Amino acid sequence: MTDDLSSLSYVATILSSKWTLSVVYALKNHTRRYSELQKHLPRTTQKMLTATLRKLEKDGLVKRKIHPTIPPKVEYKLTPLGLEVLALTQHVSNLAETNEHVLSARKLTK
């Protein structure tokens, strides 16, 4: 039981970062360059996007590929774990959009 809670806590920590889910969604169907991600996430700063991508790469959700060109071309894509996280978040999003209790709670917070 303790191991389950520890694992759940670790995953929750990964997903609770402000920009994690936004980056995962931006990469859901595409391999993207850094500049493309910036365009999809205009409210994030360069520093925050870089930190988020590094953390997602470290956590195994994103794969970074560097092409040996001048200047170097860097691309990001979801790993199999990143795709699993995407599927999980899409399921939770669907639940949030269709569940009566969630919908009424959201109305109260507006």
pTM, two decimal places: 0.81
Q: What is the CATH number of the domain that holds 15?
A: 1.10.10.10
Question: How much is the CA Rg of the chain, to the nearest whole Å?
Answer: 16
- Using pLDDT thresholds of 50, 70 and 90, give the confidence band for residue 2: low
CA–CA gap between residue 18 and residue 81 (Å, rounded): 19
* Cβ within 8 Å of residue 72, ≥6 positions away: 66
Total number of domains constituting the chain: 1
DSSP character string of 41-89: -TTS-HHHHHHHHHHHHHHTSEEEEEE-SSSPEEEEEE-HHHHHHHHHH
Model confidence pLDDT, tens digit, residues 51-108: 999 999 999 999 999 999 998 899 999 999 999 999 988 888 888 888 888 778 777 6
| Domain that includes residue 70, residue range | 2-109
Model confidence pLDDT, tens digit, residues 10-27: 888 888 888 998 999 999
Q: Is there a contact between 85 and 24 (Cβ–Cβ < 8 Å)?
A: yes
DSSP character string of 63-75: EEEEE-SSSPEEE
